[in-house]
Structure 1
Amino acid sequence: MSTELLTVRPDRELTDGETALLFRLLPPERRERLLRQHRAEQRREPLCAYGLLLLALRQRLGWRTLPPVDRGPGGKPFFPDFPAVHWNLSHTAGAVLAGVSDHPLGVDIEHFRPVTPRLMERLGADSAEEALRRWVRLEALAKQRGSGVLTVLNQPLTGAENASVHDLAVFPGCAAAAALGEGETPGRVQIWTLEALLDTLAENL
């Protein structure tokens, strides 16, 4: 099967009922971590990220719930009971990206923002926007590998690695990329509104 990529823009605060719905859908490990986060504004994007992941897995595999999550040596999350189901998540303030595939993948999304001259120089970029576009490509590749982005920054990329990373068209003001399996192309990213995501998840409980 091809890779599924989905994105949503949480453009408002969640209601108490919406927050409760998304908490119910979280895998246990992630629920415990988020419950320790007392600032509600820092829960919104992670909650939406796992809601988007569940939606992708319902579309692809008919799953009703998310199984337990573990982390590999590099910190990359995975489903230990379903190691052949590969997935990755990324979120920034007001934007979330999720990917599901039969092969290891990495995704990253960032808002355009000022960056330091040092980072621009290190990335070989002439502007903050160009630097962030290059950064999300490197971050996606690092997440596909299950390594830190500094590892990718400090090593020259092979032609195959460069070819595996694809820029994604998502929201204005955002840069996004996906690192996929050899020969894979991302296809069209499914763009969801927050209301459509929440309604679909609630209808299929």
Structure 2
Amino acid sequence: MSVPPAGATEKGCGGVHVVFVDLTASVALLEAAEREAPRLSADDVVRVEKLAHDPGRQRLWRASRIATRIVIERAAGRAYRNIDFAIARNGRPYLGEGPPYFNVSHSGNAALIAVSNAVPIGIDLEEARGLTMTDDRRRRVIAAAARLANGPPGPPRIDADGDVLQAWVRLEAAAKALGTGIGQLLTEEGVVGGEVVGGTTAAHRLDVRNLDVASAYFAAVAAQTLPRAVEVLTLPNDADALAKFLSCAET
């Protein structure tokens, strides 16, 4: 993996960035941005080529990766263009040891991207849909999510698919922030196996927030520490707005 120059994380806007991307609406703009200023790495290109058997998926995956590169650049500077991502054992891409940290979630035709220049961060996005799930499992998911910091106020309804999806994204975001995988967290919280691990777990020490995104989606973000307010930006839909979006990444 190529390594950016020392001090690279001092450039860009800094802080925590959360950006929602409508991939279908943004794909043409993202491709134009990539032609003008290539940001994809050699490994990115190889991964895109492996999806040639599914052109629709290939197009959206490539758009998502370009968008991820743009959000990282906005947060941390141009030095991260074309840098190959390292890949964790669970398949999660990362930029190597230390900040900046990033996480990406896809659902439907959208992506949600988070970058932090301070601590590991997890993000999750789920498109609204009907769920086939037993009442018992719904209760376990909702109860587990409520035990995380900044749990939802009031009793959610187990018969409301939206409440279950919102609980689920909280758990996924926490697992991603910890880097442990969702299976371990579900076991510790009794969603799988039925027994809750006693005491305060690592997930309980995270700051987990529900996020307000597009109306057809549910989302959450998690990290050891988050700003008092976490704003969700939408990737600009025209070239001038995108240039302004990236203006703080100029060196």
Place the TM-score, normalised by the shorter chain, in its bin.
0.7 to 0.9
For residues 185 and 160 of structure 1, the distance between their equivalents in structure 2, rounded to whole angstroms, comes to 21
In the alignment, is the contact (CA less than 8 A) between 2:21 and 2:234 conserved in 1?
Answer: yes
Q: State the AA in 1 paired with 2:138.
A: M
Q: State the AA in 2 paired with 1:95.
A: A
In the alignment, is the contact (CA less than 8 A) between 1:123 and 1:134 conserved in 2?
Answer: yes
TM-score for both structures, normalised by structure 2: 0.68
In the alignment, is the contact (CA less than 8 A) between 1:10 and 1:194 conserved in 2?
Answer: no
For residues 70 and 180 of structure 2, the distance between their equivalents in structure 1, rounded to whole angstroms, comes to 27
The CA deviation string for residues 141-187 of structure 1, in whole angstroms up to 9 with x for no partner, is 11112222121111138487355111111101100111122354452
Shift of 1:122: 4.0
> What are the residue-to-residue correspondences of 1:38-53 with 2, within 5 Å?
38=52, 39-53=54-68
In the alignment, is the contact (CA less than 8 A) between 1:10 and 1:95 conserved in 2?
Answer: yes
In the alignment, is the contact (CA less than 8 A) between 1:170 and 1:176 conserved in 2?
Answer: yes
TM-score for both structures, normalised by structure 1: 0.81
For residues 86 and 198 of structure 1, the distance between their equivalents in structure 2, rounded to whole angstroms, comes to 25
**Cα separation, partners in 2 of 1:182 and 1:53, compared to 1, 3 Å:** same
Q: State the AA in 2 paired with 1:166.
A: R
- Tell me the residue number matched to 1:103: 119
SS in 1 for 2:172: helix
Determine which of 161, 168, 189 is the counterpart of 2:232. Answer: 189
> What are the residue-to-residue correspondences of 1:102-181 with 2, within 5 Å?
102-118=118-134, 119-124=137-142, 125-156=158-189, 158=200, 161-162=203-204, 164-181=207-224
Q: State the AA in 1 paired with 2:19.
A: L
Shift of 1:120: 2.7
For residues 148 and 69 of structure 1, the distance between their equivalents in structure 2, rounded to whole angstroms, comes to 19
For residues 151 and 66 of structure 1, the distance between their equivalents in structure 2, rounded to whole angstroms, comes to 33
- Tell me the residue number matched to 1:29: 43
Counting matched residue pairs gives: 204
RMSD: 3.3
The CA deviation string for residues 85-135 of structure 1, in whole angstroms up to 9 with x for no partner, is 111111112211111112100111110111112353442433211111111
Shift of 1:19: 7.8
Q: State the AA in 1 paired with 2:84.
A: P
The CA deviation string for residues 176-203 of structure 1, in whole angstroms up to 9 with x for no partner, is 1111223544521111244459954999
SS in 2 for 1:134: helix
SS in 1 for 2:188: coil
**Cα separation, partners in 2 of 1:94 and 1:197, compared to 1, 3 Å:** farther
SS in 2 for 1:96: strand
Please identify the structure whose Cα radius of gyration is greater: 2
In the alignment, is the contact (CA less than 8 A) between 2:211 and 2:220 conserved in 1?
Answer: yes
Q: State the AA in 2 paired with 1:62.
A: G
